Amino acid sequence: MTMLAVFRSRAQTLDYLSALRAAGIAAAAVNTPKEAGVGCGVSAKFADRDFARAQAIFRRRAYSSFAGFMKRVGERYVFC
């Protein structure tokens, strides 16, 4: 399953993406789905098997623009 970290800031999305990759997590920048309802337009995508590690990385940083984590359910993304 695919997970997304959704931010309201492009710069914070890219910083988080860099932190994920530095930790050895395969991650990519993707368009934020319309279901998120945020304006930045870029989210960090990673596999659900890496979710616990991704959350740990998130907690060690101060991201003021974080909107939430989303998971893919069928053809849509939902906040989890």
pLDDT tens track for 35-76 = 898 866 899 999 999 999 999 999 999 999 999 999 999 999
- The CATH architecture assigned to 2-79 reads 2-Layer Sandwich (3.30)
pLDDT at residue 1, as a whole number: 87
Q: pLDDT tens digits for 18-33?
A: 999 999 999 999 999 9
Q: Is the Cβ–Cβ distance between 17 and 30 less than 8 Å?
A: no
- Annotate 3-56 with DSSP letters as a single string: EEEEES-HHHHHHHHHHHHHTT--EEEEEPPGGG--SS-EEEEEEGGGHHHHHH
Q: Where are the domains of the chain?
A: 2-79
Half-sphere exposure of 34 (CA within 13 A, CB side): 1
pLDDT at residue 50, as a whole number: 98
